Amino acid sequence: MRKATLAAIQMASSPNVSGNLLEAGRLIETAAKQGAKLVVLPENFALMGVNETDKLDIAESDGNGPIQEFLSKTAERHKVWLVGGTMPIRGVSGKARAACLVFDDKGHRVGRYDKIHLFDVSVPGTEESYQESSTIEAGEDALVVDTPFGRLGLSVCYDIRFPELYRQMSSVGMDILAVPSAFTARTGAAHWEILVRARSVENLCYTIAANQGGFHINGRETYGHSMIVDPWGAVLASLSQGSGVVTADFDRDRLAKVRAAFPALEHTKLTCR
């Protein structure tokens, strides 16, 4: 497929799973009506809990559960390829995996990426402190999925600060990058756009960066500014705050033209092993 409309979904998710799924479904439908064929939900789209342990209460077994069923049926209903942000899948040590699931337009699951880099950080200049590793097991493997639009690389939020992950995905032909996220307001204002655009520029790819954006019942504020960026680093579309949909076109001819004119990927001297 030479051209396709991409969509990033922005939400301000709550502790109410059913309400979040209704909102996600509404926004995916909106994206589909705007012609989107590949849709990316934000990190933690189904739950932004009051406590970090709340995610463990809704964690599902791999391949079975209402959130996974929602993703599958919604992808099939709207005939879109759907990147399901992240949702908790039960791990092996009493913790969960932050799993990013991909469904094709027939509702079949075609990929699962588990967030590798966990946000164990005290945010400078605030009283915010996060310890994702207390409830989440880290993933181990990068993943690139074949789609009708191109090869899709998967990553989540804090991953974006680790460029070696993306170089590994580029080494196997990544064309489009998905970055479902829940960036804090402080770190987002400082680094979000810089990082998203840098990953596009470095890897000469389209990036769909779907962020949480707003105030949450747990007191957290997320940055929003979901955006779609082209392989030259241009922001094609963005949304500052609140729930909504961002769309822009993927153009394979544009991708090929940029890569031919500026063949940085061909000049790579070091490779990941």
Write the CB contacts of 37 (distance below 8 Å, at least 6 apart in sequence): 1, 4, 5, 6, 80, 81, 105, 148, 149
Given CA atoms 169, 122, 59, 228 in this order, what sign does their dihedral have?
A: negative
Would you say 256 and 41 are in contact if contact means Cβ atoms under 8 Å apart? no
157 is a catalytic site residue: yes
Question: What is the spatial distance between Cα 106 and Cα 104, in angstroms, rounded to a whole number?
Answer: 5
DSSP 188: I
Identified catalytic residue from 43, 60, 132, 137: 43
| Count of Cβ atoms closer than 10 Å to residue 259 Cβ | 16
Question: What is the spatial distance between Cα 149 and Cα 127, in angstroms, rounded to a whole number?
Answer: 43
3-state secondary structure of 171: coil
Question: What is the spatial distance between Cα 17 and Cα 87, in angstroms, rounded to a whole number?
Answer: 11
Q: Is 135 exposed, middle or buried (0-12, 13-18, 19+ CB in 10 A)?
A: buried
60 is a catalytic site residue: no
Would you say 146 and 107 are in contact if contact means Cβ atoms under 8 Å apart? no
Would you say 222 and 187 are in contact if contact means Cβ atoms under 8 Å apart? no
Identified catalytic residue from 60, 100, 115, 132: 115
Question: What is the spatial distance between Cα 170 and Cα 180, in angstroms, rounded to a whole number?
Answer: 18
HSE (side-chain half, CA atoms, 13 Å) at 63? 1
Identified catalytic residue from 100, 137, 157, 205: 157
Please give the positions annotated as active site: 43, 115, 157
